[in-house]
Amino acid sequence: MSSPAVDAFRVAMGGLRDVSELGALVEDGRLNPDDIVAVTGKTGGFGDTYGSSRVDADHAVRRFLLDHGSRSAADVEAIPMAFSAGVGTIMTPHLVVYTRTPAEPAADGLPRLAVGGASSAPILPEWFGSTAHVQANADAVRAAASDAGMAPGDIEFVIGKSYYPPLEDIAAARAAGAPIPDLGAKEVFRFSSGSIAQAVKAAVDGEPIPDPSRVGTDPDLWSDKVAVSSNIWEGAGGAGPQTHLLALGNSRGAGGRLRVGRAVIEDLLDISAVTRAVRDAGIPVGDGPLPPEVQSRIITTYVKYQEPVGGRIRGRRLVTEDPTYIKNLKTVVASAFSAMLQDNMIWISAAGVQQGPPGGGTIAVVLDVS
């Protein structure tokens, strides 16, 4: 009896719309474009300089799938994609495409990687700041699990973009009588980011949705299974202004060679979270640098991090008043984890509101366990 088998291919991007290495995989017969069910990517843009880099990458991949596959435009538009901009100097812009094909269940009987995607219902402005916003995202998490053929409790990690309406739409809904709290841009971002963390806790861990006043604000309500940024919809990730998610999990009875492991990053010096994630995926490894035979098994790595609390790491003050602090911080985090992995083709995203412990973050590693 056949079972779904997920595989993953990681390729470098030579430019904002470069998909040439995907084309090479197709030409070599290693990749069937019609088998691709999800895509993640780290793009070269940062801030205003390359503000369209996520959209550029999204549109380029979808164009590639239309040109080289047989699926309809509507089917290609529905494929979940999660792009993060800002390569932090040392990171390499890249794509990871996930495929799903029929295969025999894993011979060892152990779980293998399952991947599913989903979009939320359109997030209405009048929902903002309420449990309805969190519930819509929780429903999307459950739908992503269903698409992967696994139970919500089997989800190990969620990646994507959590949508929030533009400030002017929220203000218009408030003026029309909707009981929406009057929040600034920073608070809107924090609620939207926190809403996906609470959605995962509700859908995956069975936790109740907290009072909306605690969403994005209470540091104790963090999830260890999320790496989702928050954005106004920008024409990337899927059709329409919705939350778009990928769910990674390990499903017993699945085929293939991959498994996902995850760990909590306690603070930004905690690079040993890499080895804990590898062990979580079932590969025994010590706490030191990864041996080459383990390094070669890693297909891709996802890191979500927060700024240090109070501008301090392990009690030592950081110079946060430097205008370049935020950009430099991503470079530092990327350098530390790249050195640990001996690989700079990694996906790292900042601003992890309620994603990992305060001042820390989350990490997931997809490995070949065959």
pLDDT of residue 113: 98
| For residue 236, pLDDT beyond 80 | yes
pLDDT digits (tens, 9 = 90+) for 315-354: 999 999 999 999 899 999 999 999 999 999 999 999 999 9
Confidence of residue 46 (pLDDT cuts 50, 70, 90): low
Say which range, 71-85, 94-108, 226-240, 345-359, has the weakest mean pLDDT: 226-240
pLDDT in tens, 97-108: 999 999 999 999
| Tens of pLDDT, residues 117-128 | 999 999 999 999
- Give exposure, 233-246, as e/b (b: 16+ Cβ within 10 Å): beebbbeebbbbbb
Reply yes or no on whether the pLDDT at 216 is more than 60. Answer: yes
In sequence order, the 6+-apart residues with CB closer than 8 A to the CB of 238 are 77, 78, 79, 80, 81, 119, 244
Residues whose CB is less than 8 angstroms from the CB of residue 311 and which lie 6 or more positions away in sequence, other chains included: 317, 318, 320
Tens-digit pLDDT profile for residues 143-179: 999 999 999 999 999 999 999 999 999 999 999 999 9
Q: How far apart are CA 303 and CA 365, in angstroms?
A: 9
Is residue 180 predicted with pLDDT exceeding 70? yes
- Second CATH level (architecture) for the domain 106-256: 2-Layer Sandwich (3.30)
pLDDT score of 25: 98
CATH topology for 1-104? 60s Ribosomal Protein L30; Chain: A; (3.30.1330)
Q: Is residue 50's pLDDT more than 90?
A: no
Residue 10 has what pLDDT? 98
- Distance, in Å, from the CA atom of 54 to the CA atom of 58, rounded to the nearest integer, reads 6
Calculate the CA 167 to chain-centre distance: 24
Q: Which CATH number is 257-368's, of 3.90.1300.10, 3.40.50.150, 3.40.50.620, 3.30.1330.160? A: 3.30.1330.160
- pLDDT confidence band for 51 (50 / 70 / 90): low
Mean per-residue pLDDT for 18-47?
A: 94
pLDDT in tens, 240-283: 899 999 999 999 999 999 999 999 999 999 999 999 999 999 99
User: CA 160, 166, 168 angle in degrees (round to 5)?
Assistant: 170
Phi, psi (5° rounding) for residue 309?
-70, 130
- Model confidence at 47: pLDDT above 60: no
Query: H/E/C letters for each residue in 236-276?
Result: CCCCCCCCEEEEEEEECCCEECEEEEEEEECCCCCCCHHHH
Phi, psi torsion values for 192, nearest 5 degrees? -60, -45
Residue spans of the domains in the chain: they are: 1-104, 106-256, 257-368
The pLDDT score that the predictor gives to residue 12 is 97
Domains 1-104 and 257-368 in one fold: yes
In this prediction, residue 89 carries a pLDDT of 82
- Average pLDDT in the chain: 95
Where do runs of H (alpha helix) occur along the chain? 20-27, 53-68, 73-77, 131-148, 167-175, 185-203, 273-280, 292-295, 325-341
| 127: alpha, beta or left? (left if phi > 0; alpha if psi -120 to 50) | alpha
